Amino acid sequence: MKAALCTGFNAPLTIAEVTLAPPRKGEVEVTLAACAICHSDLHFIEGAWGGTLPAVYGHEAAGYVTALGDGVGDYQMGQAVLVTLIRACGTCACCSDGRPAICEHVGAPYSPLALPDGTPVAQGMKTGAFAEKVVVDASQLAPLPDDIPLDVAALLACGVITGVGAVFNTAQMQAGATALVIGTGGVGLNAIQGARLAGARRIIAMDIAPEKLDAARDFGATDCVLASDPEVRAQVAALTDGRGAEYVFVTVGAVVAYEQALGLCAPGGGIIMAGMTGSDDYMRLNPMMVAYQEQRLLGSKMGGTVLRRDIPRLIDYYRQGRLKLDELISNRYRLDQINDAIADTAKGGTRRNVIVFDAFEEGGP
pLDDT tens-digit profile of 319-343? 999 999 999 999 999 999 999 999 9
Residue 316 lies in a domain: no
Mean pLDDT score of the chain: 95
Q: Tell me, what amino acid is at 286?
A: N
Is the pLDDT at 107 greater than 70, yes or no? no
Look at residue 362 in the predicted model and tell me its pLDDT: 79
CATH of the domain at 170: 3.40.50.720
Q: Which of 208, 164, 200 is nearest to 182 (CA)?
A: 208
Look at residue 365 in the predicted model and tell me its pLDDT: 83
Look at residue 345 in the predicted model and tell me its pLDDT: 92
Indicate if the alpha-carbon torsion angle 243, 244, 248, 253 is positive or negative: negative
My answer on whether 152 and 169 are in the same domain is no
Question: pLDDT-derived band of residue 217, with 50, 70 and 90 as boundaries?
Answer: very high
Residue 308 lies in a domain: no
Is the pLDDT at 106 greater than 80, yes or no? no
Is the pLDDT at 151 greater than 70, yes or no? yes
My answer on whether 148 and 246 are in the same domain is no
Mean pLDDT along residues 248-252: 97
How many Å is the maximal CA-CA distance in the chain? 65
My answer on whether 224 and 330 are in the same domain is no
Q: How many domains would you assign to the chain?
A: 2
CATH of the domain at 26: 3.90.180.10
Least confident of 124-138, 193-207, 228-242, 343-357: 343-357
What's the Cα-to-Cα distance from 69 to each of 24, 74, 302, rounded to whole Å? 5, 11, 26
What's the Cα-to-Cα distance from 311 to each of 30, 48, 66, 292, rounded to whole Å? 18, 30, 22, 38
My answer on whether 12 and 145 are in the same domain is yes
What DSSP designation does 167 have? Answer: I
- Which residues, 6+ apart, have CB-to-CB distance to 359 below 8 Å? 31, 32, 33, 63, 64, 150, 365
Is the pLDDT at 102 greater than 80, yes or no? yes
pLDDT tens-digit profile of 41-88? 999 999 989 889 999 999 999 999 999 999 999 999 999 999 999 999
- Which residues, 6+ apart, have CB-to-CB distance to 119 below 8 Å? 54
Model-level pTM?
Answer: 0.95
What DSSP designation does 140 have? Answer: G
My answer on whether 227 and 292 are in the same domain is yes
Percentage, residues of the chain above pLDDT 90: 90
Look at residue 108 in the predicted model and tell me its pLDDT: 67
Q: Which structural domain, as residue segments, surrounds residue 182?
A: 163-301
